[in-house]
């Protein structure tokens, strides 16, 4: 049995154009042209699309290092287009199908280089998507510019877009802040290009020239999907998206027309170990977390009326009252309002600003809120 026959035996059958309402081929690869395959998938059926389309690099001739050695670049037929106009037509065609199969609260991520990302961005806007961010992936170990004729290309750009200006979308803000050591996640991300054991090779040769690092896809899926969401990658390659989706408890669909890439992707995904279910429970955003009034903490005796709260540096003091308000001198208010008043600040998060005394020193009263949630939430 040849390579193609082996792959065909292990991937989803191409989705027929005559079955527009076919069930989603979850956790499998469709070995087919991406536009044809997407055209046959049900409308509004996918939560997120991550796309790493051909860059149309327009390389003229072979690339060589100063020592004369060959540079392993993208020279495959799938990255070649007859003209820039042909690339535009292709881009708009697959983005049109992507928009049709995305749910109303879905989103799309597209990665590219200066060769194609501006054309992709223009098409995204023309087709009615709404760009939320452009993310710069700064490569920690970029390939040098061997000819010395340009700056080193040390980054790629990702576009994140929703279905429209007013459309809802998933953004796990709290998870991103936790991932970034309690700082807001910025739009410039640094990862090394794929290498080491993660880089797939056969007989010492790279299986795919533009394999993306799993850490990059991990951050995207953690930020913009929930466990059980369906993630589609229409340019599946060696299956990075599928491997990460499996680890994070997401469902995935890959579309890839090259049999060799399909084979490598299947082998890789089968070896990927999903995270333990408890590890998938990421921190909730303030909007989705259950609300707890400070008065509830007082009602339940976790802090009593008359208790004294201070800020972390003990510059301000307030006394807890029976109704859950706090008092400083003759001034009373909520933990948030009085915190902002005493600091002469426009706002204050009282849960993190005010602290209570324990045998181990000061602790933020948010500790009590978390204890209450752990004790009362199923």
pLDDT score for 19:
38
pLDDT score for 306:
92
Instruction: Specify the range with the lowest mean pLDDT, choosing from 14-18, 281-285, 329-333.
Output: 14-18
* pLDDT (average), residues 23-27: 91
pLDDT score for 335:
94
pLDDT score for 377:
65
pTM beyond 0.75, yes or no: no
pLDDT in tens, 173-216: 988 888 887 789 999 999 888 777 777 777 777 776 777 888 89
Confidence label for 71 from pLDDT (cuts 50, 70 and 90) = very low
CA-based torsion, 238, 241, 244, 250: positive or negative: negative
Which of these, 271, 267, 213, 223, lies nearest to 247 by C-alpha position? 271
pLDDT in tens, 322-372: 888 999 999 999 999 999 999 999 889 999 999 999 998 999 999 998 888
Confidence label for 251 from pLDDT (cuts 50, 70 and 90) = very high
- The Cα 152–Cα 145 span in angstroms is 5
* pLDDT (average), residues 284-288: 65
pLDDT in tens, 122-146: 999 999 999 999 999 998 888 887 7
Strands 28-30 and 251-255: parallel
Q: Look over the chain and give the mean of its residue pLDDT values, rounded to a whole number.
A: 85
Confidence label for 6 from pLDDT (cuts 50, 70 and 90) = very low
pLDDT score for 300:
86
- What is the 3 state secondary structure string of 114-170? CCCHHHHHHHHHHCCCEEEEEEEEEECCCCCCCCCCCCCCCEEEEEEEECCCCCCCC
List, in sequence order, every residue forming a beta bridge with 202; answer none if it has no partner. 205
Confidence label for 18 from pLDDT (cuts 50, 70 and 90) = very low
């Amino acid at each position: 049995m040849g390579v193609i026959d082996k792959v065909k035996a292990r991937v989803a059958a191409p989705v027929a154009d005559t079955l527009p309402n076919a069930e989603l081929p979850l956790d499998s690869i469709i070995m087919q042209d991406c536009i044809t395959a997407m055209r046959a998938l049900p409308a509004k059926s996918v939560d997120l699309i991550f796309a790493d389309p051909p860059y149309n690099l327009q390389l003229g001739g072979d690339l060589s290092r100063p020592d004369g050695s060959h540079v392993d670049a993208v020279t495959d037929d799938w990255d070649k287009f007859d003209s820039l106009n042909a690339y535009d037509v292709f881009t708009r065609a697959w983005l049109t199908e992507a928009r049709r199969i995305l749910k109303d609260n879905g989103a799309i991520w597209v990665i590219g280089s200066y060769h194609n990302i501006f054309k992709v961005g223009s098409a995204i806007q023309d087709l009615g998507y709404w760009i939320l961010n452009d993310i710069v992936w700064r490569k920690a170990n970029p390939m040098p510019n061997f000819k010395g004729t340009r700056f080193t290309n040390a980054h790629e750009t990702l576009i994140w877009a929703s279905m429209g200006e007013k459309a809802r979308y998933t953004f796990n803000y709290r998870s991103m802040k936790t991932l970034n050591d309690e700082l807001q996640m910025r739009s410039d991300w640094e990862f090394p290009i794929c290498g080491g054991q993660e880089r797939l090779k056969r007989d010492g040769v790279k299986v795919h020239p533009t394999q993306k690092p799993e850490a990059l896809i991990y951050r995207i899926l953690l930020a913009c999907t929930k466990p059980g969401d369906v993630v589609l990658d229409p340019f599946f390659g060696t299956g990075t998206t599928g491997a990460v989706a499996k680890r994070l408890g997401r469902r995935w669909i890959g579309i890839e027309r090259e049999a060799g890439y399909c084979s490598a992707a299947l082998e890789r995904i089968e070896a990927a170990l999903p995270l333990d279910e408890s590890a998938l429970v990421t921190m909730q955003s303030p909007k989705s977390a259950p609300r707890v009034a400070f008065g509830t903490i007082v009602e339940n005796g976790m802090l009593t009326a008359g208790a004294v709260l201070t800020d972390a540096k003990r510059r301000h003091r307030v006394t807890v009252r029976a109704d859950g308000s706090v008092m400083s001198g003759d001034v009373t208010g909520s933990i948030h309002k009085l915190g902002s008043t005493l600091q002469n600040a426009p706002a204050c998060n009282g849960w993190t600003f005010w602290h209570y005394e324990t045998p181990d020193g000061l602790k933020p009263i948010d500790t009590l809120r978390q204890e209450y949630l752990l004790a009362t939430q199923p």
